[in-house]
Amino acid sequence: MLAGLVYSAVDAELLKELGEVKDIIHRYNGLRPSAVEERLSILKGLLGEIGDDEIIINQPFYCDYGKQIRVGKRFFANFNFTVLDEAPVTVGDDCFIGPNVSIYTACHSTDPHERNSRREWARPVTIGNNVWIGGSVTILPGVHIGSNTTIGAGSVVVSDIPASSVAVGNPARVIRKIED
């Protein structure tokens, strides 16, 4: 799965791990928002890497494995952040994620017979430093978003977005470059 090769989404070992992570996520989402230290402790055990203790992920938060997610310093994600991390998801320092944002790494065939075999593959997502992802954005598998970029609310990011850009729409396209 992590090598980007085709794998079975109904593999017993993967399903067991997904179930264990769902229990952790359920516990995290059930905590009082004021339980900052306990929330941070769960995130430190769940995520693959955290840049510092200034991470904030508002509840509810959802992910598949957690351990493939790496976030940098001063990371903030608002309500309903969803990450399907079948491949690595790497987010740089000083990134802000709006509400209802989804990051997907899992890929499925468009052929219904092949799709029904439950075979899939995954492609990593990378987000640079100083990126703002507006509310209700969807980021698809294999996308790289460069540093110092803003993705406008409601956008669907289907391909790479260069650094120092403002991108909006479905599919997201660069509408303006940001001066450094």
Active site residue 144: no
- Catalytic residue (choose from 26, 108, 113, 144): 108
Three-class SS string for the chain?
CCCCCCEECCCHHHHHHHHHHHHHHHHHHHCCCCCHHHHHHHHHHHCCEECCCCCEECCCEEECCCCCEEECCCCEECCCEEEECCCCEEECCCCEECCCCEEECEECCCCHHHHCCCEEEECCEEECCCCEECCCCEECCCCEECCCCEECCCCEECCCECCCEEEECCCCEEEEECCC
**Which of the residues are catalytic?**
108
